[in-house]
Structure 1
Amino acid sequence: MEPVNTSTLSNASNIDLGHCNAHCRIILITLYGMVLLGGTTGTILMSRLMFKRNSQSMIATIVLNIMVLHSILLFSLPFRLSYYVLDVWEFGFFACRLASGVIYCHMYFTFVFYVAIVILRLLIYFKKLQMQELQKYHVVVLSIIIWMTGGLIFLPIFFLQYGTDSSYSEHHRCFEFYKDLNCRKFIILNYSMIVIMITTVMTLFLIQMGVIFQLIKSLWPDTWAHQEFRAQIKSFFFLLVIVVCFIPHHAFRVHFIQNYSKKENSELVLYNEIFVALTTACCLDMLCFIGGVIH
């Protein structure tokens, strides 16, 4: 009777996981499909607009970096979609690691560039930085520093640590690298990123709201007619994108790390994948600009 009971339990477990995976796939196909369509449309239209205007401003240069990041992520999404549609990964183990790593690389690099825009505008507002002192090459240098620093941090983790466990090498499965959270160094890394992102966003959010309220008070009733106010509203928009797309993933990550185990809680895995997918929705930011949400 013992073998029969073991088999029954195993089958029940597989059914639960299979139902979770099927439900997860439907949600992820919808999310990634919307991001791919909207993000691609927004990035293409914004590229054409920037090309026509030939803007040399510091913000335009940073936005160009963000568009490059979006393009890299959007290129990887069809591979993700094929996996969730077919439930089979056909592109090799390294491509699986790469497609999985790109989504995190995109999130953190985009976060840094968003924060750079907000900080630069705040420095100008508080007279700590003069617009005429900024040349295009200053922002180009800043962009190169961000890319190089991020690369020096990300690449060693990706090639030497991320998803290198031999248990991941099954050719038909992919994007299950959350199992690395059983490793102490990845737990510490995740907690560090959570604290850094949430602390940074909360600090900038409070400062930004204070600036906006101060401008409303001093410029009322023709607030929107002033370029300075519109610039700060744009900064607030970037912070709002971080709050909507990135913070939910990091807030849930705390619960996920504390409760996930080698038993693989399928419900937590489902929610984790959904929150990871939500981070890609920041690619719709350019569509918001084109659509007139932010002029």
Structure 2
Amino acid sequence: MSLLRSLWRSMETINTTTLQNASTTDDCNMHCRMILITLYSVVLLGGTTGTIIMSRMMVKRHSQSIIATIVFNIIVLHCILLASLPFRLSYYVSVSWKFGPFTCRVVSSVIYGHMYLTFVFYTAIIIVRLLIYFKKLQMQQLQKYHAVVLSIVIWMVGSLIFLPVFFLQYGTDPSYSKQRCFEFHRDLERDEFITMNYCMIVVMITTVVTLFLLQMAVIIQLTMALWPDMWAHQEFRAQIKSCFFLLVIVVCFIPHHAFRVHFIQRWKDNSKLVLYNEVCIALTTVCCLDMLCFISGVTH
């Protein structure tokens, strides 16, 4: 709390001339910035604590399962995102970007890359467990190299998709101010970016709905078969853990994509939507707190 009070005092003493020179459409007011600073501070503190403790636990346990390997990939993604958060906090506290336009594009793209790659790895865990349940996959058949190959493929495909988009096109409009950052919404005037956004929205929501229906069917089936001692069975607990990943996706990722549909259509008519969009993007980083939940589960 003392840290948040200090940040609040720093924000109140910001040079008002800087605020007046900012674009009215793009300006993030005090209330919006306080929400963003609070969110990113909590994620930075909790996420860093969770990833460090979880990493140490995994090293001690020497687990070589496919699930453990996927979780390790998620930890790496979280570390990359957490390393970018101090840049975001610095910007929202000072209301001025001091690290150059290229760094701005990199930091801005990291949050999207993290969101989509984390979503893919979450989905991979859920699908692997469903395949095992439906006897389409035997746990004994899965070797560590299967998980390594899967991880390499996901990273390569993700890089081939996101790197050309974010580093060659995203945020390259010369009209963007060098003193402002994370405000590349004018790219949505380009048809290719609109199409890409709609495709990602459809893919994510369709995937979540499909997996949710399958997961609920499996859990109901297991509950009926194992009642009343279902919690004593590892298979039931594994499927419940898969629900946790779906819950993280729904809470952290779906609000951004649901709001994105409205934002793409209306951002020109309502400048406040830019602020709401930034808050929705910040919400996606809360998934970094998942490691704290894993730690409590492992301890229990």
Fold-level similarity (TM above 0.5) = yes
1:191 and 2:198 correspond: yes
Cα deviation per residue 1:96-128 (whole Å; 9 max; x = unaligned)? Answer: 000000000000000000000000000000000
TM-score, normalised via structure 1 length: 0.92
1:259 and 2:266 correspond: yes
SS at the partner of 1:166?
coil
1:155 and 2:147 correspond: no
The separation in 2 between residues aligned to 1:200 and 1:151, in whole angstroms, is 21
Cα deviation per residue 1:190-228 (whole Å; 9 max; x = unaligned)? Answer: 000000000000000010011011111111111111100
Q: Which residue of 2 aligns with 1:108?
A: 116
Cα deviation per residue 1:24-57 (whole Å; 9 max; x = unaligned)? Answer: 1111000001100110011011001111111111
Alpha carbons of 1:110 and 1:126: their partners in 2 closer, same or farther (altered >3 Å)?
Answer: same
Q: Aligned runs of 1:134-283 on 2, under 5 Å? A: 134-168=142-176, 170-261=177-268, 265-283=270-288
Alpha carbons of 1:249 and 1:293: their partners in 2 closer, same or farther (altered >3 Å)?
Answer: farther
1:44 and 2:52 correspond: yes
SS at the partner of 2:182?
coil
Cα deviation per residue 1:160-194 (whole Å; 9 max; x = unaligned)? Answer: 211111112x2211111111111111000000000
Amino acid aligned to 2:39 = L
SS at the partner of 1:246?
helix
Q: Which residue of 2 aligns with 1:56?
A: 64
Q: Which residue of 2 aligns with 1:6?
A: none
Query: What is the Cα deviation at residue 19 of structure 1?
Result: 7.3
1:291 is aligned, of 260, 274, 296, to 296
Amino acid aligned to 1:253 = R
Alpha carbons of 1:292 and 1:214: their partners in 2 closer, same or farther (altered >3 Å)?
Answer: same
C-alpha root-mean-square deviation of aligned residues, in Å? 1.9
Contact 1:234 1:294 in 2 (8 A): no
TM-score, normalised via structure 2 length: 0.90
SS at the partner of 1:89?
coil
Amino acid aligned to 1:187 = I
The separation in 2 between residues aligned to 1:107 and 1:15, in whole angstroms, is 28
Q: Which residue of 2 aligns with 1:129?
A: 137
The separation in 1 between residues aligned to 2:51 and 2:21, in whole angstroms, is 43
What is the aligned length?
A: 282
1:26 and 2:34 correspond: yes
Identity between Structure 1 and Structure 2 (%): 73
Alpha carbons of 1:67 and 1:132: their partners in 2 closer, same or farther (altered >3 Å)?
Answer: same
Q: Aligned runs of 1:73-112 on 2, under 5 Å? A: 73-112=81-120
Amino acid aligned to 1:280 = T
Alpha carbons of 1:12 and 1:95: their partners in 2 closer, same or farther (altered >3 Å)?
Answer: closer
The separation in 2 between residues aligned to 1:36 and 1:63, in whole angstroms, is 19
Alpha carbons of 1:119 and 1:80: their partners in 2 closer, same or farther (altered >3 Å)?
Answer: same
Contact 2:47 2:289 in 1 (8 A): yes
Cα deviation per residue 1:241-279 (whole Å; 9 max; x = unaligned)? Answer: 000000000000000011112xx7321011100000000
Contact 1:288 1:294 in 2 (8 A): no
Query: What is the Cα deviation at residue 17 of structure 1?
Result: 5.3
Q: Which residue of 2 aligns with 1:5?
A: none
Cα deviation per residue 1:122-170 (whole Å; 9 max; x = unaligned)? Answer: 00000001111110100100000000011111111112211111112x2
Gaps of 5+ in 1: 1-10
Contact 2:253 2:283 in 1 (8 A): yes
The separation in 2 between residues aligned to 1:18 and 1:160, in whole angstroms, is 23
Query: What is the Cα deviation at residue 90 of structure 1?
Result: 0.6
Gaps of 5+ in 2: 1-18
Amino acid aligned to 1:91 = F
Query: What is the Cα deviation at residue 21 of structure 1?
Result: 2.5
Query: What is the Cα deviation at residue 294 of structure 1?
Result: 9.0
Alpha carbons of 1:294 and 1:194: their partners in 2 closer, same or farther (altered >3 Å)?
Answer: farther
